[in-house]
Structure 1
Amino acid sequence: MQIKELARATGVDVETIRFYEKEGLLPEPARLDNGYRNYAQPHLERLAFIRHCRALDMPLADVRRLLGFVDDPEGQRLDVDHLVDEQIGRVRARLKSMRALEKQLLQLRSRCDGAHEQGAACGILDELVSAAHGEACACHPAASRPVSA
């Protein structure tokens, strides 16, 4: 199959497929007489594996290591658990960060009474302007704001 067919079958952009080839994650396919790449079932399966790992937000370095385990079925696989545990840690850290961001946005949103009349003050904008001036705001109390030089 040609690259556009592989892209359609996996939902991966053509440029991304080329990038994965260049990075060595996806082996280069055979070439047809006309010079077109000729992808086969193993390419489709490997690309689907990569796509699944990326959907789990795994870094390319980890995907590369996981592919190494797939390519060497007799090799040591203890690192697979470690890689997944590290990814779980990254996801948990991101979730914690996102919860903090949500809290900050809710605090900022609480400054708006919903009345947006012409010329009326807007609590959200007032808070953002205060923060821009280095003052404490609803979402960043003075104690947690970085000190500017």
Structure 2
Amino acid sequence: MRFTIGKLAKATDVLVTTIRYYESIGLLDEPDRSESGQRLYTEDAVERLAFIRHARDLGFPVETIRELIALQVDPGQDCERVDEIARHQLGEVQRRIAQLKSLETELKRMLSSCEAGKIASCSVLAALGHHEGCLHDEHGGQEVLAKPPSI
């Protein structure tokens, strides 16, 4: 069965622009084309794209996904490297959870001192303006809360 890019996008719930991006960086193979130049994908592309999407949903970076795809080429090899990669990703997730807990604590502390007065005496704005008043030196929250690329 052949899929156009639109049907592939629908089958995998991945944006057409994201599919083109994955092709441009080599995560997806260039598809065959119809006589009119329309991209035509196989069932293998559906499986690969589902793999990529799930890996992205789990927070794996693109370069790590590239390595995981490369490891799939030899299904008879030991999966030690895959385990290493998954353990590293788990560590990254745990690190981000710790950062988020720190952010939660800091925001709760800021809000608990809020007296709902006037802007001039707003304790939340004062805390945001003076980082030295925070309980933790580094929040690292901007990285944690940044929206991942569309998939």
Would the TM-score normalized by the shorter structure come out above 0.5?
yes
Question: Match of 1:88, as an amino acid?
Answer: L
Distance 1:62 1:126 in 2: 41
Q: Given the two structures, how large is their TM-score scaled by the length of structure 1?
A: 0.82
Structure 1 ranges of 4+ moved more than 4 A: none
Distance 1:79 1:119, change over 3 A: closer
Distance 1:29 1:144, change over 3 A: closer
Number of aligned positions between the proteins: 136
Distance 1:122 1:66, change over 3 A: same
Residue 120 of structure 1: how far off its partner (Å): 7.1
How high is the sequence identity, in percent, across the aligned residues? 38
Cross-structure match for 1:39: 41
* Correspondent of 2:32 among 30, 33, 48: 30
Cross-structure match for 1:89: 91
Cross-structure match for 2:125: 125
Cross-structure match for 2:57: 55
For the pair 1:67 / 2:65, whether they are aligned, the reply is no
Distance 2:137 2:19 in 1: 44
Which runs of 5 or more residues in structure 1 are unaligned? none
Residue 68 of structure 1: how far off its partner (Å): 1.3
Distance 2:69 2:12 in 1: 17
Which runs of 5 or more residues in structure 2 are unaligned? 139-151
